[in-house]
Amino acid sequence: MKTKRFLSILLSTSLVMGLGTPGLVLAEENATLDVIFYTNSLTKDVGEIEYINNMAEEANVTLEIEQISSGWDEIKSTLLASGDIPDLIIGKDAIVSSDVAQFKGLFADMSGMIDEYAPNIRKAFDEHPELEYLATSEDGAIYGIPKYQRFWPKTYIRQMINKEWLDNLGLEVPETFDELYNVLVAFKEQDANGNGDPNDEIPMDFAAGVASHSVYQMPWILCLLCGYGLPVTAITDDGWYLDDGEVKNIYMSDEYYDLLQFLSKCWNEGLINPEIFTQDYATYAATSRNGVVGYTLGWDITDRMGSGEVAEQYEVIGTILPSEEYADKAVWETSYYTLNYAYPTAVMSAACENKEAAMRFLNLFYDDTYGIQVLFGSMGECIQDDGDGTYTVLPPGDETMDPGTWKWTNALADMGCMYISDDIELELPSDMQTIASLDEVYTEELERVGDDMWPGAFLKYDDAANSELSFYMTDLQNLFETSFADWLTGGGVDEEGWNAYKENAMNAGYEEARTIVQTAVDDYFTYMGK
């Protein structure tokens, strides 16, 4: 556990009166708040982050901080069970919706305080009603503050291929499954890297779900379903997607059945890394950085290949089609909502003795200039005020760090509570600009998704529905995961086996689960007037 404490400078009332957000009346006396910050392990002592100190000064509070970056699940369990939590807990995934539901009495209802003490939060809710929907519980209370970080891209997963290998073999970038298959065979058989050894290339590698991250995500290769027109969302353990507003599941689709035939064919030909089901994510990343992989998927080229010479061999490629007839239907993976929204990212103790002060402090996370600092770091050190109402994220002050590492070191970053207004103009760091340029190959496909972008970040269930859905999904996820592995490595699935699989899913409660999710989707769309 990484724990650090500091006491912010105690300010006299005369120094703080007149500071702050217009229209916000500050407390006349300084208040002390106990705060847990749940941070990335790279993040430096929160007490040394300038914008945190500035926010404490502006809100006229003294912060007593505990910073935790590892072992949080065990710590949280003990903390919640004790019934004694600090005034504030700040950090994405520190407290989750199920914690709020189970220990509701521990958390303060902030709904009545937002209009009175938090004009920034109120303004954000008015500008983005989905934030208020996300934050409001079934009983009408607001037990946590969500985040909106705006700048993250629409897609989480990108396809990339070794262009140098293609050039070595006189091949073009594949645009259909047949072309991809032929390219992979050539990578395997024709010494694509030109080192004289035709057996050291891995034609295809991908993260196969369970082994890819600390939480299950779908096998990334299933992004190939986008070629059929299915708007897949990679950051999900359920496989749900929307088809003109109707909830469906990729694992029950005819397109999935068809794709499995192609993938099993690739497996049988030795075109897929045989370690996909056993390698952890660190091994997955290291393999690509050795320059032995032809086609793969991931966040971006440097994340998969590093920033050296190996990365220069690769390029991001567009959606691959089952056949040319799907050219006008193809979409691409969309995770924008999951990447940019989260709830809750800050909660307040019901026993907090200084709720007004705590609310004023939380309000500053939604201030225009503090919001961008929460994500990228302090003004001056990490962000430049251009003096004309615009801002620029500066290059790392430490030349040994990449922009992402510098951000995580000097800011709460993605784990912070924040609101970044759509009106603020900010020049992004080089890594985010690179992501934007890579995604240009998916522009048309992403636009095609439209209102069928999966709204999973906003879906809410009452206790009964949540319990029922969890019950069904335990068996369904097990069926989906094991069947994928069995079929991929076992020669695919015939029609009889596919029908039996779907019947098993129905018996496990698929339609009941789908109906629960559809209700949650409809409730969200109704609220948003869609």
Residue 32 sits in a domain of what CATH number? Answer: 3.40.190.10
Q: Give the Cα separation of 288 and 163 in Å (integer).
A: 14
Instruction: Looking at the structure, tell me whether residues 367 and 287 fall in a common domain.
Output: no
Is 498 domain-assigned? yes
Q: What is the pLDDT of residue 131?
A: 97
Q: CB of 318 within 8 A of CB of 443?
A: no
Instruction: Looking at the structure, tell me whether residues 148 and 173 fall in a common domain.
Output: no
Is 123 domain-assigned? yes
Q: Which of 248, 322, 265 is nearest to 521 (CA)?
A: 248
Q: CB of 417 within 8 A of CB of 374?
A: yes
Q: Can you list the residues of the chain whose pLDDT is less than 70? A: 1-28, 209-217, 237
Instruction: Looking at the structure, tell me whether residues 231 and 283 fall in a common domain.
Output: yes
339 contacts: CB under 8 Å, gap ≥ 6: 149, 152, 153, 156, 235
Last residue of a domain, one of 311, 333, 355: 333
Instruction: Looking at the structure, tell me whether residues 168 and 148 fall in a common domain.
Output: no
Instruction: Looking at the structure, tell me whether residues 188 and 322 fall in a common domain.
Output: yes
Instruction: Looking at the structure, tell me whether residues 146 and 167 fall in a common domain.
Output: no
The angle subtended at Cα 256 by Cα 250 and Cα 257, nearest 5°, is: 140
**Burial tier of 374 (Cβ tally within 10 Å: 0-12, 13-18, 19+):** buried
Range of the domain at 505: 457-475+493-527
pLDDT digits 0-9 by tens, 462-502:
889 999 999 999 999 999 999 999 999 999 999 999 999 99
Is 125 domain-assigned? yes
Instruction: Looking at the structure, tell me whether residues 131 and 166 fall in a common domain.
Output: no
Instruction: Looking at the structure, tell me whether residues 196 and 306 fall in a common domain.
Output: yes
Q: CB of 332 within 8 A of CB of 158?
A: no
**Where are the strands (E) in 50-169, listed by range?**
61-68, 88-90, 145-148, 158-162
Instruction: Looking at the structure, tell me whether residues 139 and 205 fall in a common domain.
Output: no
Could you give the C-alpha distances from 207 to 128, 267, 333, 404, in angstroms and in order?
34, 15, 15, 22
Q: How much is the pTM? A: 0.89
- Angle (deg, nearest 10), helices 355-364 and 50-59: 140
pLDDT digits 0-9 by tens, 239-291:
999 999 999 999 999 999 999 999 999 999 999 999 988 888 778 888 888 88
- Token pair recorded at residue 174: 């594949």
Instruction: Looking at the structure, tell me whether residues 304 and 401 fall in a common domain.
Output: no
Could you give the C-alpha distances from 110 to 97, 117, 349, 358, in angstroms and in order?
15, 10, 10, 10
Is 517 domain-assigned? yes
Sign of the CA dihedral with 376 first, then 377, 382, and 383 last = positive
Is 481 domain-assigned? no
Is 66 domain-assigned? yes
The angle subtended at Cα 333 by Cα 490 and Cα 479, nearest 5°, is: 35
Is 484 domain-assigned? no
Last residue of a domain, one of 333, 353, 385: 333
Number of domains present in the structure of the chain: 3
Is 486 domain-assigned? no
Instruction: Looking at the structure, tell me whether residues 101 and 193 fall in a common domain.
Output: no
Q: Give the Cα separation of 158 and 297 in Å (integer).
A: 5
Q: What is the pLDDT of residue 284?
A: 85
Instruction: Looking at the structure, tell me whether residues 139 and 166 fall in a common domain.
Output: no
Q: In what order do the strands lie in the sheet with 425-427?
A: 383-385, 390-393, 425-427
Q: What is the pLDDT of residue 29?
A: 82
pLDDT digits 0-9 by tens, 291-340:
899 999 999 898 888 878 999 999 999 999 999 999 999 999 999 999 99
Last residue of a domain, one of 333, 362, 393: 333
